[in-house]
Structure 1
Amino acid sequence: MKMNKQDMTLQWLVNIGFVIVSLIALFPILSLLLSSFRPSSELMRNGISLTVDFSTLNIKNYQYIFTEAGNYWTWYGNSLILSVITVVLSLFFSSMVGYALALYDFKGRNVLFMLVLFILMVPFEILMLPLYQLMINVQLINTYAAVLLPAIVAPIAVFFFRQYALGLPKELMDAARIDGSTEYGIFFKIMLPLMTPSLAAMAILQGLGSWNNFLWPLIVLRSNDMFTLPIGLATLLTPYGNNYDVLIAGSVMTIVPIILLFIFFQRYFVEGLTVGGVKG
């Protein structure tokens, strides 16, 4: 069916609006990218902006990161490894918990779900002190286990997977049981593949949260060589000197894993969010 002139005009206005919003969203990234090629003296003089002297642009900041900033790549590797482990473990355990809360009828199920919602509503700043005391008691301070354990079963992920699993057909479970499949076989071979869109969407959200996590690793980590990237970049700003040029170039490099993560999972991202949000 052909669109009339009024509908075409409205469609054009909507597209223009989306383009404007996109440009506004990309403005900070573009400013950061241009500033990463500027020398420190110009950054101190003019700050981060789109107004730059192109004759002063160079790649010295990136050369320094790739050749001399040894700690930077240590921090980068720490963040990358922790983010991958966090995403894998969080998806594995949170999907199992959400699936069980959605499709199994057992005593106390509603109470457990209410507890998940309650924890979801509690700000992390309130949980920080008891979590820190717990890590001291189990002697996990300055270990990666202290960073990982609080994030393995995320309340938001459990809630998300539970809502998504409510829309899965229970008939498949009954048919699999008749064929002699175990409950674990039903989950891993039948139900989990059906949850792929929700897994992809949550992988992006959990990966982004873990990659940008600053406060909790700052509290439990002590050694410089164990710092994650956000903490390491923060150490470049000190009362004795501020390496803004290296900081900005290093910040640009931190965007790369998130972009790659979204590229790999973008096909399922919108589907996972919309379906998981309306089912049940």
Structure 2
Amino acid sequence: MKWLYRIVSVAMAFLFAIPLIWMLVVSIKQEGMKIITVLDWFKPPFSFAVYHEILTGTKLTNWMGNSILVAVIVMVLTVIIAAMAGFALSKIPFRYKTFMFFLVLAGLLIPGEATIIPLYQVAKDMHLLNSYRGIIIPALASPIAVIVLKSFFDGIPNDLLESIQMDGGGIWKIFTRIVLPLTRPALASMAILTFIGSWNNFLWPFLSITNDNLFTLPMGIPTLMSQYSEDYVKPMVVNAIASVPIIVLFVIFEKQIVKGISMSGIKG
């Protein structure tokens, strides 16, 4: 039966890879090629001239740099904030802790679109529009990250932490030396998922940014697409370039992503 499972797995993997393969193949076609059948997409000649044109003649690299900068900062700060909040809700006794947990949980019940108008007004009053801060700060509140990390912290025995406290270890030492290393898979999974979520975020940057030098990729790509509506090659080149950081990220952290997601029960 193992060979059957392998055949099915390879077939499913190839099925999901077909759009990616097609995007890469079309992106290296020459512009203006006559396409009659599907096989014509996979026939030479091929060229990387359009890649050079897109990279040098547009602001795509600038937008990609903005996306990477914003996504990395959001990822790091969100994981730090969520880890500290989750640890406090899990292991530190204080008044109204249950109320605070349900308050965080209630954050999952409010759709992000419902907060757009008050969020925009607050950002406007604080002069955060058209700035990196205006994109980053609203993205730092992540109830799902707090809840997932709290569930991991709940699995750490209290006796272990109490024994460390008896030996003179403070809360901060317990958090940084014991709790964080034990929950590394969860931290890695939340970091990657937060990075991807920030990378793909469109609505709030679209509303808060009007300076095209501050555009992120989800905002800039539609701008380029509108210019190449009658061409297949250039849109595929744009999407291929935009996909590289996420693909590289997944290849490097594949084990951490799979392990963290399987342990936390996060569904795509």
Question: Do both share a fold (TM > 0.5)?
Answer: yes
Q: Is the CA contact (8 Å cut-off) linking 2:228 and 2:234 kept in structure 1?
A: no
Is 1:59 matched with 2:48?
yes
Match of 1:104 among 92, 103, 126: 92
Question: Which residue does the alignment assign to 1:234?
Answer: 222
Aligned length: 266
Is 1:273 matched with 2:261?
yes
How much does 1:53 deviate?
A: 5.2
Q: What amino acid is aligned across from residue 46 of structure 2 in structure 1? A: L
Q: What amino acid is aligned across from residue 129 of structure 2 in structure 1? A: I
Q: Distance in 2 between matches of 1:222 and 1:243?
A: 27
Question: Which residue does the alignment assign to 1:39?
Answer: 30
Match of 2:142 among 147, 154, 173: 154
SS where residue 238 of structure 1 aligns?
A: helix
Structure 1 residues 46 and 144, CA, compared in 2 at 3 Å: closer, same or farther? farther
Deviates more, 1:153-162 or 1:240-249: 240-249
Q: Distance in 2 between matches of 1:118 and 1:28?
A: 38
Question: Which residue does the alignment assign to 2:21?
Answer: 30
Q: Percent identity at matched positions?
A: 34
Question: Which residue does the alignment assign to 2:11?
Answer: 20
Question: Which residue does the alignment assign to 1:208?
Answer: 196
What does residue range 1-280 of structure 1 map to in structure 2 within 5 Å?
A: 9=1, 11-42=2-33, 51-52=40-41, 54-69=43-58, 71-238=59-226, 244-277=232-265
How much does 1:104 deviate?
A: 2.2
Q: Distance in 2 between matches of 1:246 and 1:142?
A: 28
How much does 1:42 deviate?
A: 3.9
Unpaired runs of at least 5, structure 2: none
Q: Is the CA contact (8 Å cut-off) linking 2:25 and 2:42 kept in structure 1?
A: no
Structure 1 residues 186 and 40, CA, compared in 2 at 3 Å: closer, same or farther? same
Q: What amino acid is aligned across from residue 185 of structure 2 in structure 1? A: P
Q: What amino acid is aligned across from residue 116 of structure 1 in structure 2? A: V
Q: What amino acid is aligned across from residue 25 of structure 1 in structure 2? A: F
How much does 1:50 deviate?
A: 6.2
Structure 1 residues 241 and 16, CA, compared in 2 at 3 Å: closer, same or farther? closer
Unpaired runs of at least 5, structure 1: 1-8
How much does 1:234 deviate?
A: 1.1
Q: Please give the per-residue CA displacement for 1:11-69, whole angstroms capped at 9, x wherever unaligned.
A: 333222222221221111111111111234349x679x664152342111112133333
How much does 1:243 deviate?
A: 6.3
Q: Distance in 1 between matches of 2:45 and 2:109?
A: 49
Q: Distance in 2 between matches of 1:46 and 1:177?
A: 73
Q: What amino acid is aligned across from residue 58 of structure 1 in structure 2? A: S
Q: Please give the per-residue CA displacement for 1:247-278, whole angstroms capped at 9, x wherever unaligned.
A: 32121122221122223322222322233349
Q: TM-score, normalised by structure 2?
A: 0.90
Q: Is the CA contact (8 Å cut-off) linking 1:31 and 1:50 kept in structure 2?
A: no
Q: TM-score, normalised by structure 1?
A: 0.87
Structure 1 residues 15 and 32, CA, compared in 2 at 3 Å: closer, same or farther? same
How much does 1:169 deviate?
A: 2.2
